[in-house]
Amino acid sequence: MEAAVRGTGIGPALRQARQLRGKSIEEASRETHIRPEYLHALERERFEALSGDVYARGFLRSYSTYLGLDADEIVTVFNRQFGPPKPTLPDPAPGPARSHRSVHPHLPPAIRRHPPSWTFLIVLALSAMAILGAAGFLSRSRATPTSESAPTSRPSLPVLPPSVVVGLFASQDVDARVVADGKVVHEGVLREGQGLSYKGDTRIEVRLSKGGLVEITVNGHSIGTPGSKKVPYAESFGPLDYRRTQSVTPRR
């Protein structure tokens, strides 16, 4: 897993929720039973310090639930950035212990006491192979489906449309207005050090009284602090913005 500092908007959202609850890292650690350094790593989005993405998802779900956030949405944003969890296969079960009482336990006692000749063993093996071969052919002829019963196509899975996620992190106080899918979700002062994260289905519009003061993350990709401090900044983002490029540059 690659390190990402404020690359998804998850960390600022966790930190703001904790501050709104009036909880310190130490208090949250005691009440969630998650070590303080792990909570710091979550809020700083240092996910590589959590011993793998399985632990990161578990801690994210527990911590966001404790803070009153939507745990499923938080984990969805994490998966969109780092990929879904990989399935693991269980270790194979150990085989039955072998008995050392007899080298040929399947043979009658008389044969075990008097080992047979090689000629007898070869005839016995050929007979067994002929019987097993006939049984296998019959079972295959019964189990082989006809061309009429064979499925012609695999069922298709529905593809859900992507959503747009925008994170904001202010380096100084600035007036901000955020509109998600035509609904105002924030209007007021965004304080220095405060982070917000919003999700929409179609568009998210961001308006700032000054540019260059807010780091903006779109769909898990940071576009830096766009705009100029001398003029207001306004931009809107959709589900496909900044998803197809690896190196992201500001759109303005």
Domain boundaries, the chain: 10-82, 164-237
Half-sphere exposure of 72 (CA within 13 A, CB side): 0
Which distant-in-sequence residues (6+ apart) come within 8 Å of 3 by Cβ? 46, 47, 48
* Cα–Cα distance for residue pair 124/243, rounded to 1 Å: 67
Q: What is the pLDDT of residue 189?
A: 93
- CA 246 remoteness from chain centre: 19
Closest by alpha carbon to 240, among 204, 211, 196, 207?
204
Closest by alpha carbon to 241, among 250, 232, 228?
250
Q: What is the pLDDT of residue 210?
A: 92
Q: What is the pLDDT of residue 250?
A: 47
According to CATH, the topology of domain 10-82 is 434 Repressor (Amino-terminal Domain) (1.10.260)
Q: What is the pLDDT of residue 150?
A: 46
* Cα–Cα distance for residue pair 36/49, rounded to 1 Å: 12
Q: Which two structure tokens, joined as six digits, stand for 76?
A: 């969805």
CATH hierarchy code of domain 164-237 = 2.60.60.40
* Mean pLDDT in consecutive groups of 10 residues from the start of the chain, 252 residues: 57 94 96 95 89 83 94 91 67 54 53 59 68 54 48 44 80 93 92 84 92 88 90 92 56 48
Backbone angles phi, psi at 213, to 5 degrees: -115, -10
* Cα–Cα distance for residue pair 198/204, rounded to 1 Å: 8
Q: What is the pLDDT of residue 247?
A: 40
Q: What is the pLDDT of residue 218?
A: 87
Q: Which two structure tokens, joined as six digits, stand for 172?
A: 């100084």
First to last CA, the chain: 30
Q: Which two structure tokens, joined as six digits, stand for 92?
A: 């194979």
pTM more than 0.85: no
